[in-house]
Amino acid sequence: MRPILTYLHKFRIYIFLTGIVGIMLSACNEEVPSNYFSLDGSFDACALDSFHVYQLSYEVGGFFPVRLMSAPVIKNGDKTEFHLEGELPGQGFYLVGKGPQNMTIMVLGGEKGVKMSGNCDDLRRFAQIENSDLNQSFKSFSGTFNQLQQQLNQANQQMMIGMQSQNAQFINQAREQILDAYGSQVYLVDSLEKVHPVLASYFKANLFEPFDPDNNPNGYTSAIEHFGNEYLRQVDFANPVYEHVPLVAENVQGYVQQLIQNKVPRTQAEAYLDDFLSQLPQDGSITRNCYAVMLNTMIQLKSELFMTYADRYRSMYILDEKTDATLDNVMSTILAEQEAQKFLSVGAIPPEIELPTPEGDMFKLSDLRGKIVLLDFWASWCKPCRAENPNVVRVYNKYKNQGFDILSVSLDRTREPWLQAIEKDQMTWNHVSDLKYWQSEAAKTYRVSSIPATFLLDKDGKILAKNLRGPALEAKLKEVLENS
């Protein structure tokens, strides 16, 4: 039996929806086609000379608003006013304002006499929309839905804690809270669909029930497998309404991010993505938007998945020269990165390092060939590096007479802090630096994006392990020295 709390939530939401629907019905005095709208704006001291309605479109490189209609502003005493009216592609989400830096999202279509006011210098934050059941409903439903989402996230975290501690009571309580919050979200969206399908379509794309290993009819072995197979699968993208709800393409960004950041193997990630993409209509703006958001996310995260989907995107659409060149440039960058990573993988001999010592002499990494070497990227300003230094000092002093040595490459900018840190931390081994901060040639060659970063090399200069710290470093070093 579901807990009483669930039914209280449903009753509360039912009353809320009933009130909203009653207000909407009482306000509807005439039938207006869903693709028709009129919007009047009135502002104090507005510097803008015109207002526009844009359709949101995503391309490789970002989002690009496509202007649909425009109206000049009219000075009326101390007021700045505009009037926009006409037919849209359909009822849905649009951008209103002046250019990409000053726009607000609105739900337009099927309403006349919508009013806009506020601060016209920052419409994104301060635009006020009145006399619009659509926009007021979207704001109200967003608040309720987001509250439920917070409850869902908190309950899911509690579920994870309960599973880690194997506390059955804690798990059961969290499970009931998840069922309650998610069930209330579903009820909310189903109720909204009867009144405002275009709004419901947006919220439906944000429905996702967390993984529960004890309520797992598909037999998923992990939360990421559940996520890969289930996220966005409740959305019927073939429904024409999604052509006018471009914002849901941004859900694809979160989807791709999770697959990449959880290091899902490429073949499996492609299987998840291909399954999702197979549900999109063969033509239409929603499909192109989703592909563009996917590719932008892969570019941001430097994922090799880009290679597969960039080729497919290019075969599906006629691209302008700029987009085509962007695809080529990113492909070249990823290929170069893949080639470089071959020399930084376990078993490979990494590139040579030749940099100045504190005394100004040139020192090479290969000068240490024949020893087990810890190549350590650090800096005097790096707190985690300084915190790890006592452990490295201890390990060095313990094993330096057994064929172990260290080369520390500093990402400092100035000489004095570098030398002072070496002395203070008692780092009595080999040090080099070109004092170029993150532009250090060695750091760029070794793809170091955070420090401390380490590479443990064998006597032949091959990489044995990467980023070992604390006990893990000593354990691996002891194993290597004993076997050698």
Amino acid of residue 284: G
pLDDT at 5: 38
Count other C-beta atoms under 10 Å from residue 231's C-beta. Answer: 20
Count other C-beta atoms under 10 Å from residue 62's C-beta. Answer: 10
pLDDT at 362 over 80: yes
Query: pLDDT above 70 covers what percent of the chain?
Result: 93
Mean per-residue pLDDT over the chain, rounded: 90
- Reported confidence tier of residue 45, pLDDT bands at 50, 70, 90: confident
How confident is the model over 122-150, as pLDDT tens digits? 999 999 999 999 999 999 999 999 999 99
Q: Which helix (H) or strand (E) holds 69?
A: strand 62-72
How confident is the model over 155-191, as pLDDT tens digits? 999 988 888 888 888 889 999 999 999 999 999 999 9
pLDDT at 63: 84
pLDDT at 288 over 80: yes
pLDDT at 76: 87
pLDDT at 22: 46
Count other C-beta atoms under 10 Å from residue 395's C-beta. Answer: 20
How are beta strands 79-87 and 92-97 bridged, if at all?
unpaired
How confident is the model over 51-108, as pLDDT tens digits? 999 999 999 988 889 999 999 999 988 899 999 999 999 999 999 999 888 999 999 9
pLDDT at 1 over 70: no
Selection from 348, 384, 379 nearest residue 464 by Cα:
348
pLDDT at 7 over 80: no
How confident is the model over 325-361, as pLDDT tens digits? 999 999 998 888 777 778 888 999 999 999 999 999 9
pLDDT at 2: 37
Q: In angstroms, how far is CA 439 from the centroid of its own chain?
A: 26
Selection from 197, 299, 190, 211 nearest residue 244 by Cα:
197
- Range of lowest pLDDT (1-5, 115-119, 258-262, 357-361): 1-5
pLDDT at 253 over 60: yes
Q: Which domains does the chain have, with CATH numbers?
A: 36-131 (2.60.40), 354-483 (3.40.30.10)
What is the tally of helices (H) and strands (E) in the chain? 15, 16
Strand partners, 52: 70, 97
Q: At what angle are helices 168-195 and 4-27 packed, to 10 degrees? A: 20
pLDDT at 10 over 60: no
Alpha-carbon span 434 to 419, nearest angstrom: 13
Tell me the torsion sign for CA atoms 267, 205, 298, 440. Answer: negative
- Reported confidence tier of residue 30, pLDDT bands at 50, 70, 90: low
pLDDT at 282: 86
Distance, first Cα to last Cα, the chain: 64
Task: Name which residue leads in pLDDT, 214 or 245.
Answer: 245
pLDDT at 251: 94
pLDDT at 99: 85
pLDDT at 374: 96
Q: What is the dihedral of CA 18, 19, 22, 27, to 10 degrees?
A: -150
Phi and psi for 371 in degrees, rounded to 5?
A: -120, 160
pLDDT at 460 over 50: yes
- Reported confidence tier of residue 32, pLDDT bands at 50, 70, 90: confident
- Cα R_g (the chain), whole angstroms: 29
pLDDT at 31: 66
E strand residue ranges, 88-236: 92-97, 103-108, 111-118, 127-130
Rounded alpha-carbon distances, angstroms, from residue 169 to 44, 159, 172, 176, 212:
58, 10, 5, 11, 15
pLDDT at 377: 97
